[in-house]
Chains A and B, each alone.
Chain A
Amino acid sequence: MTSIIETERLTRRYGRTEAVRELTLAVPEGSIFAFVGPNGAGKTTTIKTLMNILEPSSGRASVLGVDSRKLGPDQLRQVGYVSENQELPAWMTLAQLTAYLAPLYPTWDAAFAEQLRRQLDLPPDRKLRDFSRGMRMKAALLASLAYRPRLLVLDEPFAGLDALIRYEVITGILELSEQASWSVFISSHDIHEVERLADWVGIINEGRLHLAEPVPSLLGRFRQAEVSFPEGAALPARLPADWLNTETAGHMLRFVDAGASGTADDEARIRAALPGASNVALTPMTLEAIFVTLARRFRQPAPVGDGQ
């Protein structure tokens, strides 16, 4: 499996602040990779370093097999990039913008651009300054899809957009799937929108990458557990380290089992750790619920002796 994006101990400092710390990541070609983390986690800094807008302070990154510091027109013509606050020339109409961009990209596909324009419901002849926030996002997406990039990089594409526009944006992204080679790297602080779309997910917090793995494997590792106890049973003083967000309510212990296998072993393991348990219920979690669990965990200091 080749990687369309690779970073090795990528670090970026602003003064003394480390926005990205030793980030090592591989995005497989052909994947839709969701890069999620709370606001301020280092997502935009990572992306700007990948796009050669920022230089790494240390470590390295490569995009389409080329060191990010050496990215030039040859690579950038194969990369569609929409930044968080994408600026568009306000005095142009969409038709003027596409006419201006088309000659810059050998692979520009005018028929595809027109198809996207209709799908995204954008007027060709109004000035971009009169576009709403959502329309601007769609126009920026159109401008980076129309040359059929091998890699699409979107920084927070859904932030502040209403449901219909989010829907249209995803439809636009999926238009690329007809191509032989295409990969998407989407950053978001809200995993919900990319839940079924992504096949890989990476979670970043405070500049550090906490995990990067295929979605099915992540979904398999987490289970919401509810264990009930008979009257008077005592809980062990120490619970396993991979039980997150433990809460007790009445005769019930609730936690997230982060070491699940998705098989019957999970229940057996829990019963072994809690010999008094009368009932054990394990339910699969959504990607969003897993992300919230981890984000809450990031906010709390790790308990002493946790081994982390």
Chain B
Amino acid sequence: MLPFSLVFKPGASVHEQVVFAVKKACVAGQLLPGDPFPSVRALSQELRINPNTAHKVVATLVNEGLLEVRPGIGTSIARAPAATRAQRRALLQEETERLVVEARKLSLDLQEVIDAVHERWRKLDGGR
């Protein structure tokens, strides 16, 4: 099983969606520094994506410093800096945009969206 979860959405490029899912898992603490990262083959087979795409995903993540390649051992989550506040905010931006677009499609106003976020937030806290 892959150490991060991903449900593909129509349209957006597969490469971007997988990279985003990995970043999200890192920021959310599902993937911790030093954790092993799946091989290109495992990524391709588990997600049923083209191996060339899987290869590109790993290359992108290595380039951006999220993954470390240790020859002979494999790939793992980089031990280097944990996500900064700015990085986290950048990741959130995409999700926020999606929420705002959906809310506007449904003609909700800003206050209704904020209330819904508050409610969801409280629910998660209560569940701990």
Q: Which A residues contact B (CB, under 8 angstroms)?
A: 30-32, 167, 170-171, 174, 177-178, 196-199, 216, 219, 281, 283-286, 289
Contacts and interface: CB of A to CB of B under 8 A. Distances in A.
B126 interface: no
Contact of A197 (B41, B49, B105): B49
B50 A32 contact: yes
Interface of B: 8, 10-14, 41, 44-45, 47-53, 105
A34 B45 CA distance: 18
A294 B106 CA distance: 30
A177 B44 contact: yes
Contacts of B53: 196, 199
B13 A216 contact: yes
Given A30-B52, A32-B50, A197-B49, A286 B11 contact: yes
Nearest to B10: A286
A49 B13 CA distance: 34
The 7 closest A-B pairs by CB, nearest first: A284-B11, A177-B51, A286-B10, A196-B49, A199-B50, A174-B45, A196-B14
10 contacts: A32-B50, A174-B41, A174-B44, A177-B41, A196-B49, A196-B50, A197-B49, A199-B52, A219-B13, A286-B10
Contacts of B13: 216, 219
A213 B64 CA distance: 29
A216 B15 CA distance: 10
A281 B52 CA distance: 32
A199 B14 CA distance: 11
A177 B12 CA distance: 24
B7 to A, nearest CB: 12
B52 A197 contact: no
Contacts of B47: 196
A32 B52 CA distance: 9
A277 to B, nearest CB: 16
A298 B83 CA distance: 50
A201 B13 CA distance: 15
A196 B48 contact: yes
A32 B44 CA distance: 13
Contacts of A196: 8, 14, 47-50, 53
B107 to A, nearest CB: 11
Contacts of B41: 174, 177-178
Contacts of A199: 50, 52-53
B11 A285 contact: yes
A177 B13 CA distance: 21
Contact of A219 (B11, B48, B49, B50): B11
Nearest to B55: A177
